[in-house]
Amino acid sequence: MAAGVAAWLPFARAAAIGWMPVANLPMPVAPAEKNKRQDELIVLNVSGRRFQTWRNTLDRYPDTLLGSSEKEFFYNEDTKEYFFDRDPDVFRSVLNFYRTGKLHYPRYECISSYDEELAFFGIVPEIIGDCCYEEYKDRKRENAERLMDDQEDNKDAKLPNMTFRETMWRAFENPHTSTMALVFYYVTGFFIAVSVITNVVETVPCGSAPNQKEVPCGERYTVAFFCMDTACVMIFTVEYLMRLFAAPNRYRFMRSVMSIIDVVAILPYYIGLVMTDNEDVSGAFVTLRVFRVFRIFKFSRHSQGLRILGYTLKSCASELGFLLFSLTMAIIIFATVMFYAEKGSSSSKFTSIPASFWYTIVTMTTLGYGDMVPKTIAGKIFGSICSLSGVLVIALPVPVIVSNFSRIYHQNQRADKRRAQKKARLARIRLSKTGSSNAFLHSKRNGLFNEALELTVKEHRLRKSTSLIESQHHHLLHCLEKTTVSRNKHFNHEFVDEQYYQQSYLEAGLQNYPSRSPSLSSQEGMTGTCCTRRSKKHHSPLPNASAPAHMQPLTHTHPHKQGLQELSTIHIQPLSTSRSSLNMRIDEPAPLNCQSSQITTAVISIPTPPVTTPEGDAHLPAGPAHQNVVKVSAL
C-alpha cells in the first residue's frame, strides 16, 4: 500500500459500515488492538542531529528498519531516543520518504554511500521516485562500469598455479606481463607492417628495361614477393594456431572479431595456393588479393585507439543508420528532380535518375567534382537547394557520434589514469597501515629486549603507552604466533617484517628470478651448522649494514634484491643495524643468551611496504609473489 493511504485506513474501515445491512452472513471479528498507543512523537538522533516525527509516520512502512520493531535495538534508555550512528544528510532523504511516500536521490550524494544507507534502513532503491530515478540509475551504471574496469585490472594478476595454456593466453592478452609476450607482440606487429608494405609496394611500377613498358614491382620480382608473403602468412598462421590453442573457450574465440580478421587475412594466400592458374578463376584470384589488405586490421590488437574507434562506431550504430537513411531519401528526391529539370537541355549528362545519383551525392557532400553540372535555370536552383540541404543533413547526426566517441575515449583515459594511480594509492594505504603492525613488532622487540637484559627498571617510560585495544590486539597476535606450530616443532611462527619475509619467501623457491643465489640455504630456516638452537637465519636487508662480522657478501647484485645474504651461523645481532629504530628491520629480536626460541621466517607475514626502507626502494621484487601467500592483515 502506498504511503499515506495507510492514513485512510480508518476511513475505509468506517465506510465499510455501508455493506453491513446488505450482508447476509455474520462478519468476522475485528482484530483487537492490544496496548493501543496514542500517537506520540519519537526522537531519532542521527549522529547528533535530532529528527522528530510521529510514530505513525514511521509505521507506514512496516518492512523497513524504522517501521518495524528492529528500531528497538537502537533505543537508548537514558536519553529516551533512538540513536543511529549514520550520516544525517542521507537520513534526511530517508525520513522524507516516510513522510511523503516518495524517495528522492540527492544529486550531491555519492551513489555508494547512498546505497549503503538505504540498505541499512531496509529500503529498496527501486522505489525512488520518477523525478530522481533516472539520475540514480545513471550514476549507478557509471559506478558499476568503474568497478568493472578495476576488476579487469585485477585479472592481470598472475594466479599461482597456471597451466601452460593459461600462461600463454595471459601472455597473448597482456603483452606487458612477461618479456616473451612483449617480444611476441612486437614481432607480430612488425610482420603485419611488413606484409602491408609489401602489398603496397607490389603495385608500384619499378624501373624497367628500356624496351619494355613499365611493370609493377610485383611482376618483376615475383619470387621475392612470394617469399615475403609466404613468410608473413606463416607467422600469422602460427600465431593464430597458438591463440586458438591457448584460448580458454575455443568456440567463443573463433567467433570473436579479431580471430575472424586473422582468418580473413591469411585465407587468400591458401586459396591462391590451392587454385591453379586456371583462366576462369584467375579473376577471382585477383579479387582475393584485395582481402589481403585486411591484415591491417590486425593492428587493432596493438592499438587501443583503433579499438575505441571501432567500439564507438558500433555504439553509434543507430545514429549512423539514421544518417544513412535520411541521406538516401534526400538523394533519391533530388536526383529525381534534377533529372526532370535537366531533361530538356541538350547534351545533358543527366541521362537517367540513377545517373543523377552521382551528381546528388557529390553535391550534397559538397565535393563538387564538376563532371556533371546542371545547365537549366530550374536545374541550377534545385542544385543549390540540394547542396544546402546536404550540409544540414550531414551535420545533424555528427555531434551525437562525436559526443559518444568523446565519452568512451574519456572513459578509457580515466581507466588508464586510475590504473596508474592505483599502485601509488595502494602503496600509500599500506604505508598508513604499517603503523599498527610496526607497533606490534616494536613492542614485541622491546618486550623481549627488556626481558633479556633483565632490566629492573620498569620500562614503561620507554614503551609507548599502549591503549587497551592495542594491548589486546598484540595479545591476540601473540596467541596466533603461539598457535601456529611448524612442522619441525622446534619453533613456532612469528610475525616478521614484510621485507624480511619477502626475502625469505624468495629464497623459498620461487623461480622468478634466475639470479637467485644458489648458496642460500633453504626453507624454513633451519641452518645446518653449529648451534641448532642458536643459529638463526639472518637477513640483513642491506649489504652495507653495519656488518655483523660473520656475514658473507652478496652473491648476486640484482638491484631488487636487498641483499640476500647467505645463511650462516650467525648468532645474535640484537639491534645491530644502523637504522633508526623506527624503520627497524627485525634482525635479531632475540636476546643475547640464546635462550629464546629460534626465529624463522614465518609463513604469515604482515604486509608492510618496503617503502619504509630508507633507500626508499619501493619496488618489491616479488610483485607476483606478493599475492601468492596468505597474508594476515595487521588491522
Q: Which residues sit at the interface with another protein, rule CB under 8 A?
A: 1-2, 4-5, 7-27, 29-30, 32-33, 36, 38-39, 54, 56, 99, 340-341, 343-344, 376-378, 381-382, 385
The distance of closest approach from Cβ of residue 348 to another protein in the complex, given in angstroms and rounded to an integer, is 11
| Cβ proximity to another protein, 379 vs 548, nearer residue | 379
Residue 117: count other Cβ atoms within 10 Å of its Cβ. Answer: 19
Q: Which residues have a Cβ under 8 Å from the Cβ of 408 and sit 6 or more positions away?
A: 308, 311, 312, 315
The secondary structure of residue 623, as a DSSP letter, is: H
As a whole number of angstroms, the distance between CA 89 and CA 104 comes to: 12
CA 559 to each of CA 138, 442, 513, 543, 556: distance values in angstroms, whole numbers, following the listed order: 48, 28, 12, 11, 9
The distance of closest approach from Cβ of residue 17 to another protein in the complex, given in angstroms and rounded to an integer, is 5
The distance of closest approach from Cβ of residue 326 to another protein in the complex, given in angstroms and rounded to an integer, is 19
| Cβ proximity to another protein, 282 vs 384, nearer residue | 384
Phi, psi values for residue 81, rounded to 5°: -145, 170
The distance of closest approach from Cβ of residue 57 to another protein in the complex, given in angstroms and rounded to an integer, is 9
The distance of closest approach from Cβ of residue 331 to another protein in the complex, given in angstroms and rounded to an integer, is 18
Q: Which residues of 448-462 are buried (b: 16+ CB within 10 A; e: fewer)?
A: bbbebeeeeeeeeee
| Cβ proximity to another protein, 36 vs 107, nearer residue | 36
The distance of closest approach from Cβ of residue 336 to another protein in the complex, given in angstroms and rounded to an integer, is 12
| Cβ proximity to another protein, 54 vs 226, nearer residue | 54
Output the CA torsion sign for 229, 235, 241, 243. Answer: negative
The answer to whether 611 and 427 are in contact (CB under 8 A) is: yes
The secondary structure of residue 605, as a DSSP letter, is: B
| Cβ proximity to another protein, 99 vs 430, nearer residue | 99
The distance of closest approach from Cβ of residue 98 to another protein in the complex, given in angstroms and rounded to an integer, is 11
| Cβ proximity to another protein, 11 vs 251, nearer residue | 11
| Cβ proximity to another protein, 17 vs 209, nearer residue | 17
The distance of closest approach from Cβ of residue 34 to another protein in the complex, given in angstroms and rounded to an integer, is 11
Q: How many CA atoms lie within 13 A of 567 on its CB side?
A: 24
The distance of closest approach from Cβ of residue 278 to another protein in the complex, given in angstroms and rounded to an integer, is 53
Beta-bridge mates of residue 128:
103
As a whole number of angstroms, the distance between CA 19 and CA 536 comes to: 93
- Cell 626465529 sits at which residue? 599
As a whole number of angstroms, the distance between CA 383 and CA 251 comes to: 54
Strands (DSSP E) along 400-539, which ranges? none
| Cβ proximity to another protein, 90 vs 337, nearer residue | 337
The distance of closest approach from Cβ of residue 351 to another protein in the complex, given in angstroms and rounded to an integer, is 15
Cell numbers for 568, please give them: 650462516
- Pick from 403, 386, 577, 600: which is nearest to 507 by CA? 600
- Pick from 56, 47, 131, 123: which is nearest to 89 by CA? 47
CA angle 287, 289, 293 (to 5 degrees): 115
As a whole number of angstroms, the distance between CA 400 and CA 312 comes to: 11
The distance of closest approach from Cβ of residue 42 to another protein in the complex, given in angstroms and rounded to an integer, is 15
The distance of closest approach from Cβ of residue 11 to another protein in the complex, given in angstroms and rounded to an integer, is 6
Phi, psi values for residue 626, rounded to 5°: -45, -45
The secondary structure of residue 559, as a DSSP letter, is: S
The distance of closest approach from Cβ of residue 56 to another protein in the complex, given in angstroms and rounded to an integer, is 8
Output the CA torsion sign for 218, 224, 227, 233. Answer: negative
| Cβ proximity to another protein, 28 vs 207, nearer residue | 28
| Cβ proximity to another protein, 30 vs 630, nearer residue | 30
The answer to whether 266 and 237 are in contact (CB under 8 A) is: yes
Cell numbers for 565, please give them: 645474504
**3-class SS letters over 120-172:** HCCCCHHHECHHHHHHHHHHHHHHHHHHHHHHHHHCCCCCCCCCHHHHHHHHH
Tell me, rounded to whole angstroms, the distance of Cα 451 from its chain centroid.
49
| Cβ proximity to another protein, 16 vs 367, nearer residue | 16
| Cβ proximity to another protein, 274 vs 377, nearer residue | 377
| Cβ proximity to another protein, 380 vs 558, nearer residue | 380
CA angle 347, 330, 310 (to 5 degrees): 120
| Cβ proximity to another protein, 351 vs 529, nearer residue | 351
Cα-only R_g, the chain: 39
Tell me, rounded to whole angstroms, the distance of Cα 292 from its chain centroid.
35
- Pick from 188, 163, 166, 199: which is nearest to 240 by CA? 188
| Cβ proximity to another protein, 21 vs 616, nearer residue | 21
The distance of closest approach from Cβ of residue 420 to another protein in the complex, given in angstroms and rounded to an integer, is 52
The distance of closest approach from Cβ of residue 33 to another protein in the complex, given in angstroms and rounded to an integer, is 6
